[in-house]
Amino acid sequence: MHDDKEKIANAKPYSQVPGPKGYPIIGTLLTFLKNNGYYRKRPHLLFHEYKKKYGPIYKDKFANQELIFISTPADVAAVFKAEGKYPDRGPNMPWITYREQRKKSKGVLIGEGEEWRKSRSVMDKKLLKMKDVGEYCERMNQVISDLISFIKQKQITDNLNGELGNLQDALYKWSFETINSVLFSKRLGSFNDPPTPIAEQFYNNVCDMMDATGQLVFLPPYYKYIKTKRWKKYCSYWDTLFEIGGKLIQEERNRLLSNGLDLSQMSETGRRTEEMEFLPYVLSRGELNDEEIAGNIIELMMAGVDTSANTILWTLYILGKNPDIQEKLYQEVSGILKDGQFPDSQTVQKMPYLRGVIKESQRLYPVLVATARILDKDIVLSGYHVPAKTRISAVMYLMAMDESIFDEPTKIIPERWIRSSPSSQHQRNPFSFIPFGFGPRMCIGRRIAELEMELLIARLILQFRIDCRNETDVGMTFRFVVSPDQDIRIAFQQRV
Ligand code: HEM
């Protein structure tokens, strides 16, 4: 404590933290909007420019809010270590405003303080415990089988010499169907032909809402005071999501009751958590009411779609562009899975190269380029005093591209993640790579995401050669998560 005070007293003042100069109220918003929103679509490039110009810590102000950007593992570690019992990422204004205007509960993604902790403590066990997550392998593999059938069928109807007309759509269906099969222990029917109305409606509304949020987050929150047509449309996307979420929860409650299960007694039967499905478990804990469960479920359904689907898109891009990496991966996976065996949580543990490939994809193409914290105490970062309540953004992308952290950072080297490999870079500070964040507020879907992605890539590589048909390099663009700036064109060639 005394040390902290001394450190702060000796630090350079906050006013000296470098950064671009902006205008009153709007700050540097125009930098984001000029040239048809060049940097709004590519914030990672602006972060890079600023790091070169101002160094590893700088401040910027837009939409009436000042942010500190940090990019050294030491600063990132210091922030996470100071985050306390109720870590706070800061508000996502459009999402929070909708919930407040409609008096709806916030879930783990946007909740704060005790409201957040209550939700998180109910769901952590079911979503982060390896044993519980391992139980989802079978249904995850069923969804993958559906995706593979879908790919084969699309290859015929799209008639593009093995390529899919819309690979992103196929992968969104996969991640959406996977997360729903975990949450509701049933399929929603995204791969049906045509998709079930409920799957289609939910999925379309998530996409529209995400797109609209991506635009609104950069603007001052005018919608708190003026309900424009655009804002009303935005709220209607959310209304539909809540309506569908509420309906699915009610259906599950009815199903359990009609099977004669008394939810209030389920938690007292001494059953182990891995023997219970997600929703019955949450309902039986009796700590969250239906509104709170709906708020949480909708957030899980949304947070698990774009993130995993885009990471897979980037991974396929890497594999399709690098036949040598693809071949090594095939050798590893085919050496472990024999005679049509499906991968599971045990077998993927024996595939370090597979995990290295996915990590490289997350390092080079981080679907979330940064995560943030607002601390309730002052801190010293890179020698500067940063006062409590400042929003501090840890930019993962900048660490990923830093050659003092990663040797040859722009090169794809899956071996750098393999302890036994001569190219291993395992001695690195663990805070230099945090694609799922860190601490009690870390991604709650991390274990699910890692498992579903490992299973999918293992199955795809066993069945197909992956050929990338993009003729120019694909860049990253911000669409709430970082997505490819052109369609990733993959042809799946059946292995014989
Ligand atoms: C490749 C896939 C994914 C990536 C890269 C990713 C990344 C992240 C990151 C960086 C955070 C912020 C963590 C922090 O601030 O410390 C986060 C939070 C979160 N993620 Fe994920 N995520 C992924 C998949 C998923 C999935 C599949 C789900 C749903 C099961 C999910 C649900 C959430 C939720 C609910 C939060 C908020 C947690 C909280 O604030 O307590 N994510 N994710």
> Any idea which architecture 104-364+435-494 has in CATH?
Orthogonal Bundle (1.10)
Cα 244 to averaged position of ligand 1 atoms, centre (Å): 22
Please state the atom number of ligand 1 nearest to the C-alpha of residue 439: 16
Cα 303 to averaged position of ligand 1 atoms, centre (Å): 6
- Beta pairing, strands 391-395 & 65-70: parallel
pLDDT of 379 over the 60 cut: yes
For a pocket test of ligand 1, which of 123, 129, 436 has the largest count of ligand atoms closer than 8 A to its C-beta? 436
Give the C-alpha separation, 332 to 292, whole Å: 44
Identity of residue 222 = Y
Cα 15 to averaged position of ligand 1 atoms, centre (Å): 33
Give the C-alpha separation, 111 to 67, whole Å: 20
pLDDT of residue 1: 58
Ligand 1 environment, Cβ below 6 A: 89, 108-109, 120, 179, 299-300, 303-304, 307-308, 311, 367-368, 371, 435-438, 441-445, 448-449
Interval 123-180: pLDDT, tens: 998 898 888 888 999 999 999 999 999 999 999 999 899 999 999 999 999 999 999 9
Please state the atom number of ligand 1 nearest to the C-alpha of residue 368: 10
Cα 343 to averaged position of ligand 1 atoms, centre (Å): 24
- Of residues 37 and 324, more confidently modeled: 324
Residue 32 contacts residue 39 (beta carbons within 8 Å): yes
Of 212, 271, 167, which Cα lies nearest the Cα of 486?
Answer: 167
ipTM value for the complex: 0.99
Interval 310-357: pLDDT, tens: 999 999 999 999 999 999 999 999 999 998 899 999 999 999 999 999
pLDDT of residue 270: 55
Run of H or E residues at 145 = helix 137-158
pLDDT of 262 over the 70 cut: no
pLDDT of 274 over the 70 cut: no
Cα 109 to averaged position of ligand 1 atoms, centre (Å): 8
pLDDT of 442 over the 70 cut: yes
pLDDT of 82 over the 90 cut: yes
Average pLDDT over residues 474-483: 88
Identity of residue 429 = N
Contacts of 472 (CB under 8 A, 6+ apart): 486
Contacts of 377 (CB under 8 A, 6+ apart): 82, 84, 388
| DSSP per-residue string spanning 341-378 | PPP-TTGGGG-HHHHHHHHHHHHHS-SS-EEEEE-SS-
Give the C-alpha separation, 491 to 420, whole Å: 33
Per-domain boundaries in the chain: 1-90+369-406, 104-364+435-494
How much is the pTM? 0.94
Task: Tell me the pLDDT band of 264, cut-offs 50, 70 and 90.
Answer: low
> Any idea which architecture 1-90+369-406 has in CATH?
2-Layer Sandwich (3.30)
Distances (CA, A) of 147 to 167, 177, 197, 440, 456: 11, 10, 19, 33, 9
Nearest residue (CA) to ligand 1, atom 21 = 443
Buried/exposed code over 176-187 (b: 16+ C-beta within 10 A; e: otherwise): bbbbbbbbbbeb
Task: Tell me the pLDDT band of 261, cut-offs 50, 70 and 90.
Answer: low
Task: Tell me the pLDDT band of 108, cut-offs 50, 70 and 90.
Answer: very high
Cα distance from N-terminal residue to C-terminal residue, the chain: 65
pLDDT above 70: percentage of residues in the chain:
96
